[in-house]
Amino acid sequence: MAPGSTAVRSPVDKFFQFSLLGLLTSGYLAVVGSGYLDAPTIVVAAAALLIRALLVGDLPSLQFSPAWVTAATLAYFGFYPLDYFYISKSFIPATVHLVFFVAVVKILTANSERDYLYLKIIAFMELLAACVLSANLNFFVFLILFLVLAIATFASSEIRRSVQRRQATVRISGRGLALRLSAVVAFVSVAILAMTAGLFFFLPRTARAAFQHFVSHRYHIAGFSNEVTLGQIGELKREGTPVMHVRMDRSEDRPLALKWRGASLAQFDGRRWSNSFESGRPLIPDSSGQLSLVDQAQRREEAKHISYAVHLNEIVADTLFFAGTPEFLRIDSRVVKYPSDTYRLRNPELQGVTYQVYSRLDLPNTDSFVGEASPLTAKQREAYLRLPAVDPRIPALARNIVSLERTHADRARALEKYLRTRYGYTLELPQSEPADPLAWFLFDRKKGHCEYFASAMAVMLRALGIPSRVITGFQSGVYNPISGWQLIRASDAHSWVEAYLPFRGWTTFDPTPPDPNPAALSFWTRLGFYTDAAEVFWQDWVINYNLDRQLELATSMEESSRHMRAGWFDNLGPAFSRGKDSALALAKRFGSALLVVLLLAALAWQFGRHSWRWWNTRQRVLKVQRGEARASDATLLYERMLRTLRRRGIEKPPWLTPVEFARVLPEPGLSLLVEDFTAAYNALRFGGNPDAAARIVQLLGQLEAWRGAA
């Protein structure tokens, strides 16, 4: 029966239709939660699911011409190569678009068993696509939902198939059907999860390592790229997506206001910063898997050091982020170091990467050593001083600001202070793109976000002959007390400046003023801590669950069980004594009330079942009298007839059929009544004749009033 048809659907069919719709929706939401679907696909698929829900809800069905469906399908198959080569430019997203197009067509036109089978396959393909594309906790939530709805769909589908068979003589009662089926679905789902949960602890994750080779990690934008255009970070700061988590090894280091340095960009064309002149040097770890990132002569034991772990979420760029100057690094991936002190992964992983760092912290804007003090080569100096054609007012402004300063360090600090105090911070983007973004920021608008400030300072430093570069990274983020990790979101994206100073090397300057409207720690932020903690657990113990985690878990369980066995007998006696004293105290205080509650519960159990059975039977008899009888009501009325005979001392042997039983009754008048009742029962129960219901009720009344032969 097609959804939305004017014919009345059975309760089983309604349950099946809604279960199938939920199955498709859970697969759709799993793919949407991965972040890989574009807005048009999300909107079109959601509209199709909404229309399907309205059709299932007994609205008139939509009629689509088969010729129109065929033409649309052929047209999309012709569009698929264009999507693959020119729009998506990748196999996975183009194929996902194809799957969702087929899904939309089938969702709107499905009205046969074969169509329903196609919808089940499409729902499974949606979940499979989400499995390949997503490594987030929300996939697990939708997977559980998919499992429950799959059981509901296939169970109700089998019931529908049995009911529709011609030889079927049993009819299904609709009373409480949805509740009973839901209970069965819940029980089976819990049983499946319980049986498979144990496999989690024995099977390290390897499937994603195979799947990730089919997905381009460049398709999912979740971090920085190798280029930054003026205004790009401002757009990124509007997003609240978590991009990395940091855990300090020492609790006293958590309050530190740190900058997480990522990429160093040197080339500026007036609108965009990029880097293309460097060649990297591969780093080879030692036998323990550790990388030494600085030379022995550059290490300063008297400086402050911090140790921390970083987990990068699904990333676009292959950049590693560090606080301070990293000296030692432990990571499983291969790393390349560039002359600009940028570290990148040679083969970035789709699901993210975790690494451990030991860094040196140097105080900015002091006379202490910061960075490498080795002189720049002629090529490097030329690259860090190169400028495009800029507005002549910019160099003039720079010279005016530093006119009273003599050293490079003092000039850099003067520029930093001028920008921080004379300009305002805002995330509002311009209505239209200005012809010269930097001059427009400095002389017209006089407010902007971090990359405008960093770009302005870097350009003015170069105009003064001071080598400079723009650094992209993140601010400190916020500490999550639930997980113990520092949460850093896309909204914490930041850019600042490094200037090369004589005898000091690369020194950090941040000309961006503080945000006048910082985000408050609201209720929703605190609630998000729990979601983030669950995501951290998911990434740590599910996605990245490997042999090391397996051994760690086994060791922890072994130690816990050993401690429990060691102290079991020592604590058994005192625990038993304390339990006995507590039980006696509770008995003295609540003994009488507890006895009354138990007595009432026993009475309710003894008489409540019979009362409920009497009430339920009475209500169904009233329905039969109103002409609303179902085939299953015949069985209920027959059982009531047997109870009436049982009160008269007549018991039906289980080996006799109803007809045989009617004929062996000792009283002829009673035998005729029971025989007529049996005939009416068979007509309603197996013949589906609703007119027999009134006859059954009439005969039942005569049997209950029977006084026997005079």
pLDDT higher than threshold 50 for residue 221:
no
pLDDT higher than threshold 60 for residue 177:
yes
Give residue 314's pLDDT.
63
pLDDT higher than threshold 70 for residue 550:
no
pLDDT higher than threshold 80 for residue 583:
no
Question: Mean pLDDT highest for which of 96-105, 135-144, 212-221, 443-452?
Answer: 443-452
Give 395's pLDDT tier (boundaries 50, 70, 90): very high
Mean pLDDT of 257-265: 89
Grouping H, G, I as helix, E, B as strand and the rest as coil, residue 128 is helix
Query: 298 near 372, Cβ under 8 Å?
Result: yes
More confident residue, 248 or 312: 248
Looking at residue 446, its amino acid is: K
Give residue 277's pLDDT.
55
pLDDT higher than threshold 80 for residue 644:
yes
**Sequence spans of domains, the chain:** 11-212, 228-539, 627-704
Distances (CA, A) of 660 to 631, 682, 698, 702: 22, 13, 22, 20
More confident residue, 316 or 107: 107
What is the residue-averaged pLDDT of the chain?
76
Query: Degrees (nearest 5) of the Cα angle 572, 576, 578?
Result: 120
> For residue 576, what are its two tokens?
């038993």
The rounded distance, in Å, linking the Cα atoms of 9 and 300 is: 79
The rounded distance, in Å, linking the Cα atoms of 677 and 697 is: 9
Give residue 539's pLDDT.
65
Q: What is the DSSP string of 46-73?
A: HHHHHHHHHHHTTPPPP---HHHHHHHH
Give 553's pLDDT tier (boundaries 50, 70, 90): low
Q: Residue 595's CB: how many other CB atoms inside 10 A?
A: 11
The full 3-state SS of 446-470, as one line of letters, equals: CEECHHHHHHHHHHHHHHCCCCEEE
Give residue 387's pLDDT.
93
Strand partners of residue 310 = 246, 355
Percent of the chain with pLDDT over 70: 70
Mean pLDDT of 169-186: 64
Give residue 418's pLDDT.
95
CA quadruple 316, 318, 324, 328: dihedral positive or negative?
A: positive
More confident residue, 391 or 286: 391
Q: Which of 164-168, 261-265, 630-634 has the lowest mean pLDDT?
A: 164-168
Mean pLDDT of 496-524: 83
Looking at residue 587, its amino acid is: A
The rounded distance, in Å, linking the Cα atoms of 273 and 267 is: 5
The rounded distance, in Å, linking the Cα atoms of 305 and 360 is: 4
Give 629's pLDDT tier (boundaries 50, 70, 90): low
More confident residue, 12 or 260: 260
Give 214's pLDDT tier (boundaries 50, 70, 90): very low
The rounded distance, in Å, linking the Cα atoms of 471 and 498 is: 7
The closest alpha carbon to 138, from 490, 546, 531, belongs to 531
pLDDT digits (tens, 9 = 90+) for 410-432: 999 999 999 999 999 887 777 77
Give 443's pLDDT tier (boundaries 50, 70, 90): very high
More confident residue, 270 or 554: 270
The rounded distance, in Å, linking the Cα atoms of 259 and 265 is: 16
Mean pLDDT of 130-139: 69
The percent of the chain in helix, strand and coil, each rounded to the nearest 5, is 55, 15, 30
pLDDT higher than threshold 80 for residue 205:
no
Grouping H, G, I as helix, E, B as strand and the rest as coil, residue 331 is strand
CB burial readout 92-122, b (16+ within 10 A) else e: bbbbbbbbbbbbbbbbbbbbeeeebebbbeb
The rounded distance, in Å, linking the Cα atoms of 587 and 596 is: 13
End-to-end CA distance of the chain, in Å? 57
Give residue 386's pLDDT.
92
Give residue 349's pLDDT.
58
Give residue 210's pLDDT.
43
The closest alpha carbon to 6, from 60, 51, 87, belongs to 60
CB burial readout 145-183, b (16+ within 10 A) else e: bbbbbbbbbbbbbebbeeeeeeeeeebbeebebbeebee
The closest alpha carbon to 31, from 102, 151, 137, 132, belongs to 132
Number of H-type helices and E-type strands within the chain: 20, 20
Query: 244 near 311, Cβ under 8 Å?
Result: yes
pLDDT higher than threshold 90 for residue 454:
yes
Give residue 322's pLDDT.
93
The rounded distance, in Å, linking the Cα atoms of 139 and 308 is: 29
pLDDT higher than threshold 50 for residue 170:
no
Query: 479 near 254, Cβ under 8 Å?
Result: yes
The closest alpha carbon to 214, from 122, 312, 83, 93, belongs to 93
